[in-house]
Amino acid sequence: MTKLRRKVYMIAGYNTISLGTGRKEFHPKKPRPGLEEYIKEAGEATLNMIGGAKNVDETVFGNFIGARFNNQANIAAFAPFIDEGLRYKPAIRVEGACGTGALALATGIKSVLAETAEVALVLGVEVQNTVKAMYGADILAAAGWAKERKSGHAYFFPGKFSDRSKAYAEKFGAEKARKAMAKWFQNAIENARLCPTAQEFHNKSKDLESFGMAKPNPKAFVEALNVFDCSKVSDGASSIAVVSEEGLKRCGIDKKDAVEIVGLGQAEEDITKQPEDLTFLSTTKVAVQKALESAGINKDKIGTVECHDCFTIAGIMATEAIGFAEHGKGTDFVLEGNTARDGIVPFNTTGGLIGWGHPTGATGVHQAVTIWEQLTGKAGEAQINIKPEKPYGLTINMGGDDKSLVSIVYKKT
């Protein structure tokens, strides 16, 4: 990926509450917001910050699988529902499994680069608490190869990453792997407690490490993960505007309230093939390398990372795929506190997928909103110190089992 041909920025990020088990407002038998309510809340919030729908040239929606969870396709046609000012303006919905949100961001970025838009409203949304967990696992299995579903685990993707966790433990040490996964969980919940929209914001458990150390129960779940290793079923939406310099002027936004997009990396792997090495996220590595090369920087300039920790083991493997730790040493990197909010490179400062939540189509956009908040000093209680020598943020959004990857590098302006 070459350097971007014109200046691109992100502004006006917004997250709804990530709703699901763990939130006080959530009750499985009581009415909850639907797809259109989340779309309207997030979309209106960003429009209010950028001067209204009149300033938008196009809308990009990220939604993975509303056609099954909500019996709703044609998501793009919800743009005018957000605001009548978006009526007759271009809109598109993109899909890339759990990497859908960042794919929507990439689509907006490319529109600005192509000069077909100066302002693109990007919105990710998913409402998944519409079915029981087992049925939801079956729906989410569509992120993998359909022909593998019948021979796969009942909980398909937990099973996939259980296999990765088992292989990693066998190769590099089970005790250290479990401790590092527990540490990752603990960091996720502690960070989520600082973010009012996070699904685990209300989590008051005192001994988080003991939960993380719980022995997996293969009879009830999967062989090498416990339930605390997993991101939860979440409903929510996130939105942000992707703009050019002309777009900044049109929206009346100062650069100090924007982040510049300086690197973009995408990588795709064959969905029909098994990973060559269960202990390494090879497609993630390629996407991150492309993003860093596009930005013209190395990993040591990164001040904070939002990675796709759908499972704790995925977070550990991400530290290795980025290059912060050698293969097999991600456990040490995490246990030494390097990914904590006061560590060498804070990861997932609002909780990540495990702590903030994982409304699949919105996750990549939520990551971008978190980086935007951190780099512009708008993260509230979750704010970390962005050092002048490390003014960059990095996001990694994964679709499927390391299949569809988008990585973005952001710079504090």
Last residue of a domain, one of 223, 257, 291: 257
Collapsing DSSP to helix, strand or coil, 123 comes out as strand
- Of 361, 304, 368, 251, the C-alpha closest to 14 is 368
Q: Where are the alpha helices (DSSP H) in 296-384?
A: 312-322, 330-335, 352-355, 363-376
pLDDT recorded at residue 1: 53
The domain in which residue 311 lies consists of: 144-232+259-412
pLDDT recorded at residue 101: 98
The answer to the question of residue 136 being in a domain is no
pTM of the predicted protein model: 0.98
pLDDT recorded at residue 150: 85
- On whether both 281 and 167 belong to a single domain, the answer is yes
- On whether both 14 and 75 belong to a single domain, the answer is yes
- The answer to whether 236 touches 125, Cβ cutoff 8 Å, is yes
- On whether both 199 and 326 belong to a single domain, the answer is yes
- The answer to whether 376 touches 304, Cβ cutoff 8 Å, is no
- On whether both 407 and 307 belong to a single domain, the answer is yes
Q: At 306, which helix (H) or strand (E)?
A: strand 302-306
A 10 A CB-CB count for 348 gives 27
Q: Which two tokens stand for residue 286?
A: 């390629």
Q: Which amino acid is at 232?
A: K
- On whether both 228 and 241 belong to a single domain, the answer is no
Listed as ranges, residues in the chain with pLDDT below 70 are: 1
CATH code assigned at 169 = 3.40.47.10
Strand partners, 409: 263, 394
- On whether both 195 and 340 belong to a single domain, the answer is yes
- On whether both 328 and 294 belong to a single domain, the answer is yes
The answer to the question of residue 213 being in a domain is yes
Residues 6+ apart with CB under 8 A from 384: 304, 341, 342, 346, 349, 374
pLDDT in tens, 362-378: 999 999 999 999 999 99
A 10 A CB-CB count for 185 gives 25
Q: How many domains does the chain have?
A: 2
pLDDT recorded at residue 133: 83
Edge-to-edge strand list for the sheet holding 119-126: 91-94, 58-62, 119-126, 236-243, 9-15, 259-268, 404-412, 392-399, 302-306
- On whether both 212 and 200 belong to a single domain, the answer is yes
- On whether both 295 and 388 belong to a single domain, the answer is yes
Residues 6+ apart with CB under 8 A from 277: none
Q: Where are the alpha helices (DSSP H) in 35-146?
A: 35-49, 66-69, 79-82, 100-113, 133-140
- On whether both 95 and 167 belong to a single domain, the answer is no
* Residue position matching structure tokens 């560590």: 343
Q: At 94, which helix (H) or strand (E)?
A: strand 91-94
pLDDT recorded at residue 134: 81
Q: What angle do CA 176, 178, 180 make, to 5 degrees?
A: 70
- On whether both 173 and 296 belong to a single domain, the answer is yes
pLDDT recorded at residue 58: 98
The answer to the question of residue 4 being in a domain is no
- The answer to whether 392 touches 398, Cβ cutoff 8 Å, is no
Collapsing DSSP to helix, strand or coil, 184 comes out as helix
